[in-house]
Amino acid sequence: MRLLSHNVLRNTAKGVVDGYPLKIEAAEIDVRDTEPDLTFIRHLLPTISFSGLRSAAEDLGLDAAAFPASYSTTLGEDEAFLRALHKALFDVRVLEGSLVCPESGRRFSIRGGIPDMMLTDEELS
Amino acid sequence: MSRPERQNTPQNYYDDKEARKYNSSSRIIDIQSEITERALELLALEPGRRALILDIGCGSGLSGEAIEEAGHAWIGCDISKDMLVVAAEKESEGGDVLQRDMGQGLPFRAACFDGAVSISALQWLCYEDSKAQSATARLMRFFASLYTVLRRGARAALQFYPENSEQVLLITQAATRVGFQGGLVVDYPNSSKAKKYYLCLSFEHSYRVPQALGREEGGRALTSVGVTERERVKPRGRKKGGKREQVKSREWVLAKKEKQRQKGLNVREDSKYTARKRKDRL
Ligand SMILES: C[S@@+](CC[C@H](N)C(=O)[O-])C[C@H]1O[C@@H](n2cnc3c(N)ncnc32)[C@H](O)[C@@H]1O
């Protein structure tokens, strides 16, 4: 699971309001450099949840302070920031661990890099 | 040939053995990448710009590979763990996968994706695996969630293999009931092999589905159907003798449009072209 996926994922089970951001309990992570596409990162900027990003960074022991608390239009001009954002969203992957819903405490396991987001029938509204 | 959808649940059908077989068949690889390229074309994304695409029923990542080749990043979901394991083994640079049954709704925040594709998966939702969950309820949950996770201006192109016209109706009705505009594009309607159904969806009221491919002159005109204008109306049964019912008269169409207006629906203005037979374009 990339942090980009973490940034968009939420728990939609019955009774849960936001189900976001999911807390990451990582047992194994992998970091692999990929070529940043800054135009693309700029394009993603307005859709990124910065609270989710900071929460993920904290969970993984990354430098959460490198990321602002919220979006502002000037962020797109800061190349160093865009590179750091690319690295966080695309290069860091959680291979083993769990995602935990901040509201219900429901755990979703991550095995082989694949989060299991399947709900039970009882969790459907 | 009997359909796998009739025999098994998707997660049981696409087990480890089937997933590996599926992913290594050069025939399947070619077909899936061709369909995916067409679906991306139907999305009409901004040219030359990398986009974030949702791939619904991404399987072993064959559609994802085509999305990447087209220069986009993607997030895929699938119900089959075994298909996803094969996808994850590819360590794709632009893609990422998670396990989810689309009939449970898509587990994403609002307005995250620049577009969505689904390649050869949606028909599975027409088959009921659990008594507690009707096909209609699952389709509605799926489309309602798709509606929220797309960014403004984003579109969806969902290719599927309907078993019959009831399934086409079930799917298109669920899509329009949650508020989508759009309709079906049926490519190569006269070829049993190449014929492909794409459900093209958008938020725009003025959205008109793109032109279908491979329509031969003289072929039935109903290859590109606006859901709101045609598919929503229950298709009449064929008359005895196998002839299709007459095309609707102008009076019938005008009356129908007036009724829809009174219901507050968004209906095109009447013009001299209303209810005229369309030319068969090539
Ligand atoms: C023919 S494969 C296509 C896979 C991929 N899109 C491709 O083009 O190669 C159909 C896929 O749909 C998935 N599928 C079926 N029902 C599903 C559901 N309810 N939710 C998510 N995926 C589903 C199956 O597990 C399978 O991987």
Cβ of residue A114 closer than 8 Å to a chain B Cβ: yes
In CATH, which of 3.40.50.300, 3.40.630.10, 2.30.30.100, 2.20.25.10 is domain A3-124?
2.20.25.10
Mean pLDDT across A84-113: 98
Q: Determine, for residues B145 and A39 on separate chains, whether the beta-carbon distance falls below 8 Å.
A: no
Q: Mutating which of A5, A85, A91, A104 best tests the B interface, going by the most B Cβ atoms within 10 A?
A: A5
Q: What is the pLDDT of residues A35-67, one digit of tens each?
A: 999 999 999 999 999 999 999 999 999 988 889
DSSP string for residues in A35-97: ---HHHHHHHGGG--HHHHHHHHHHTT--GGGS-SS--GGGGG-HHHHHHHHIIIIIEEEEEE
Residue B216 pLDDT level (bands cut at 50, 70, 90): low
Fold of B4-226: Rossmann fold (3.40.50)
Residues of A in contact with B93 (CB under 8 A): 34, 90
Q: What is the pLDDT of residues B73-123, one digit of tens each?
A: 999 999 999 999 999 999 888 999 999 999 999 999 999 999 999 999 999
Cβ of residue A34 closer than 8 Å to a chain B Cβ: yes
Q: What are residue B53's DSSP bridge partners?
A: B74, B115
B281: which 2 tokens? 């374009």
Residues of A in contact with B130 (CB under 8 A): 121
Q: How far is B282 from B278, CA to CA, in rounded Å? A: 12
Q: Are A13 and A104 in contact (CB under 8 A)?
A: yes
Enumerate residues 6+ apart whose C-beta is below 8 A from B118. B39, B55, B56, B57, B102, B156, B158, B159, B160
B159 CB near ligand 1 (under 6 Å): no
Residue of B nearest to A52 (CA): B109
Q: Torsion-angle region of residue B276: left (phi > 0), alpha (psi -120 to 50) or beta? A: beta
Residue B228 pLDDT level (bands cut at 50, 70, 90): very low
Residue B254 pLDDT level (bands cut at 50, 70, 90): confident
Start-end of CATH 3.40.50.150 domains in chain B: 4-226
Residue of B nearest to A47 (CA): B112
Q: How far is B187 from B194, CA to CA, in rounded Å? A: 8
Query: Residue B237 pLDDT > 60, yes or no?
Result: no
| pTM (predicted TM-score) | 0.85
Cβ of residue A116 closer than 8 Å to a chain B Cβ: yes
Residue of A nearest to B11 (CA): A118
Q: How far is CA B84 from CA A41, A67, B10, B35, in A?
A: 26, 31, 13, 20
Q: Return the exposure string of B139-165: e unless at least 16 CB atoms fall within 10 Å of the residue's CB, then b.
A: bbbbbbbbbebbbeebbbbbbbebeee
> Which value does ipTM take for this structure?
0.97
Q: Are B235 and B169 in contact (CB under 8 A)?
A: yes
Sequence spans of domains, chain A: 3-124
Q: Determine, for residues B141 and A119 on separate chains, whether the beta-carbon distance falls below 8 Å.
A: no
